[in-house]
Amino acid sequence: MRSVAVIGSGVIGLSVAREAARSGWHVTIHDDMQRGASWVAGGMLAPYSEAWPGEDELLQLGVDSLRIWRDGFIEDDVEGSVITARGSLTVAVDIADAAELRTMMDWLGGHGHAVAETANARDVEPLLAQNIRRGFTAPEELAVDNRKVLHVLTTECETLGVRWEPAVAGLQDVTADQIVIANGVGAAALADLPVRPVKGEVLRLRRRPGAMPPPTSVIRARVHGRQVYLVPREDGIVVGATQYEHGHDTAPAVAGVRDLLDDACAVLPCLGEYEFVECAAGLRPMTDDNLPLVGRIDDRTLVAAGHGRSGFLLAPWTARTINAVLDGGESPTVVDPRRFEKAHSQETR
C-alpha cells in the first residue's frame, strides 16, 4: 500500500490525512500534539467578507472551498451543532469605515459576487449598537465551531486507520513514500519555506443568565479603522482577532485584548454582560502574497501551508488539491510552493 506522512495535525493536516486515507493511502500523522492556531481560530468560512481588492485569486479559492463546505465536508449534527452560524453581516461604525465597506462592495459586485447592502443593519441584528446602520450581508457564508471540527476530523481519521507518531526534527526522519508538510508556521524551519508567523489574539465569552443571546449571524465590523469579528457559539461568542508580527510569541498582550473588548462592545453592547472565559493567541502562517503554498516541491515532498487567516475556509479545497497531486496531478500555479523562488530566479537573469 502507498504510504504518506502528514506533518501537522491542525485543520489542514487532518483534512489532508482524511482525504488521503479515503483514497487508499496508508497515512501517518507526525505532530507534537501541542494546540496551535487551529485550536484558537474563530472558524469563519467567509470568502466575501474577508476579501479585499487585489486579492482576486484568494477570493476565488475561498468561494470554491466554501462550496465544498456547503456540500457536506463535515457532516453537521443537530445536537451540538458544528455549524454555528449561517450568513454574515459586515458593518461600519463611522464614515471612514463605511467608505471601506463601499470599496469592498463595489469590488465584489464588479467580480460578479453579489452581496446585499443594508442601510439599517439593526434590521438584521437588532442588538447592534444604535449608531450602526451601514453594512452588507453575505448569506452563503458560514461559521463552524473550530474545536468540534478538529474533533470530527480526528475521529474520522482514526476510523480510517490513520496512525499518529511523534513530531520529526527533519524530513530525513520520515520513512513514508510521500510527505506532506502541513504544520503551519513550522513549515518555514522544516523545509525553508516562505511562511512567517502573524500573531492574533482571540477571546471567548460565555452568555450569563439573563444576558441577551448571541447574534444569529457572524458579525464583522470596522471600528475606527480596526477590524473585529464576532462569531456565535452555542453558549456564547468568539471575538477576534488582532493581527501583528511579533515572532513566535503566543502570549496575549494587554493592548490587543483591550482593543478587542472595546471594539466588540462598541458593536454589540450586550456583550458587557457576558462572562470572560478565555483569551488565547495563535500564529497565522502567512505568505508575502497572502496565498497558500499548496503543491509539490520535489518528487517526495508536498506542501500544504501558508493559509494565513483562511485555514478553516481553505481546508477542503487544500485536501482535494493535495490528494490530486499525490495521484500525479498538478496544483494551480497561483499556489505553487516554488513561485517565490521562480520569480526571484527570473528577476536575477
Model confidence at 346, pLDDT cuts 50, 70, 90, reads low
Model confidence at 14, pLDDT cuts 50, 70, 90, reads very high
pLDDT at 341: 82
pLDDT at 343: 56
Is 14 a member of any domain? yes
Kindly tell me if the per-residue pLDDT of 246 is higher than 70.
yes
Is 313 a member of any domain? yes
Residue 64 grid coordinates:
470554491
Same structural domain for residues 294 and 349? Answer: yes
Question: Which residues span the domain enclosing 309?
Answer: 1-43+145-193+288-349
What is the rounded CA–CA span in Å between residue 4 and residue 93? Answer: 49
Is 161 a member of any domain? yes
Same structural domain for residues 121 and 184? Answer: no
Q: pTM for the whole thing?
A: 0.95
Is 280 a member of any domain? yes
Same structural domain for residues 100 and 246? Answer: yes
Strand pairing report for 275-286 and 83-92: unpaired
What is the rounded CA–CA span in Å between residue 31 and residue 166? Answer: 5
Same structural domain for residues 1 and 133? Answer: no
Model confidence at 342, pLDDT cuts 50, 70, 90, reads low
- DSSP per residue over 169-185, as a string? SSGGG--SSEEEE--GG
Q: What is the mean pLDDT of residues 318-328?
A: 98
Nearest CA to 11 among 274, 238, 307, 268?
307
**Residue ending a domain, choose from 269, 286, 303:** 286
**Residue ending a domain, choose from 264, 286, 308:** 286
Same structural domain for residues 95 and 135? Answer: yes
Nearest CA to 36 among 12, 13, 10?
10
Is 52 a member of any domain? no
What is the rounded CA–CA span in Å between residue 74 and residue 24? Answer: 20
Kindly state the helix (H) or strand (E) to which residue 251 belongs, with its residue range. none
What is the rounded CA–CA span in Å between residue 12 and residue 292? Answer: 11
Same structural domain for residues 119 and 180? Answer: no
Cβ pair 318, 153 in contact under 8 A:
no
Q: What's 27's domain CATH number? A: 3.50.50.60
Same structural domain for residues 119 and 181? Answer: no
Q: What's 129's domain CATH number? A: 3.30.9.10
**Residue ending a domain, choose from 286, 308, 329:** 286
Report the Cα 120 to chain-centroid distance in Å. 29
Same structural domain for residues 127 and 259? Answer: yes
**Total of domains in the chain:** 2
Nearest CA to 308 among 7, 9, 12?
12
pLDDT digits (tens, 9 = 90+) for 111-166: 888 789 999 999 999 999 999 999 999 999 999 999 999 999 999 999 999 999 99
Same structural domain for residues 186 and 231? Answer: no
pLDDT at 80: 57
pLDDT digits (tens, 9 = 90+) for 76-99: 665 558 999 999 999 999 999 999
Is 50 a member of any domain? no
pLDDT at 247: 86
Cβ burial 230-242 (10 Å sphere, 16+ → b, else e): bbbbeebbbbbbb
Same structural domain for residues 124 and 151? Answer: no
Model confidence at 310, pLDDT cuts 50, 70, 90, reads very high
Same structural domain for residues 93 and 118? Answer: yes
